[in-house]
A and B are shown apart, each in its own frame.
Chain A
Amino acid sequence: AQSVTQLDSQVPVFEEAPVELRCNYSSSVSVYLFWYVQYPNQGLQLLLKYLSGSTLVKGINGFEAEFNKSQTSFHLRKPSVHISDTAEYFCAVTPAGSSASKIIFGSGTRLSIRP
Chain B
Amino acid sequence: NAGVTQTPKFRVLKTGQSMTLLCAQDMNHEYMYWYRQDPGMGLRLIHYSVGEGTTAKGEVPDGYNVSRLKKQNFLLGLESAAPSQTSVYFCASSYPGEQFFGPGTRLTVL
* Chain A residues close to B by CB (< 8 Å): 9, 32, 34, 36, 41-46, 49, 51, 90, 97, 99-101, 103, 105-108
The one of B42, B94, B103 in contact with A100, judged by C-beta atoms closer than 8 angstroms, is B94
Looking at chain A's contact residues, the main secondary structure is loop
Looking at chain B's contact residues, the main secondary structure is strand
* Chain B residues close to A by CB (< 8 Å): 4, 31, 40-45, 48, 50, 90, 92, 94-104
**Known contacts A43-B90, A43-B104, A44-B90; A103/B99 CB under 8 A:** yes
* Nearest A residue (CB) for B90: A43
Summed over the interface, the residue pairs from A and B with CB atoms below 8 Å come to a total of 56
* Nearest A residue (CB) for B4: A43
A42 contacts B103, C-beta separation under 8 Å:
yes
A101 contacts B48, C-beta separation under 8 Å:
yes
B31 contacts A105, C-beta separation under 8 Å:
no
**Known contacts A100-B96, A100-B97; A106/B102 CB under 8 A:** no
Say how far B22's CB is from chain A's closest CB, in angstroms.
15
In the complex, chain B residues whose CB is within 8 Å of the CB of A43: 4, 90, 101-104
The one of A41, A44, A49, A100 in contact with B101, judged by C-beta atoms closer than 8 angstroms, is A44
**Known contacts A43-B102, A107-B41; A32/B97 CB under 8 A:** yes
In the complex, chain A residues whose CB is within 8 Å of the CB of B102: 43
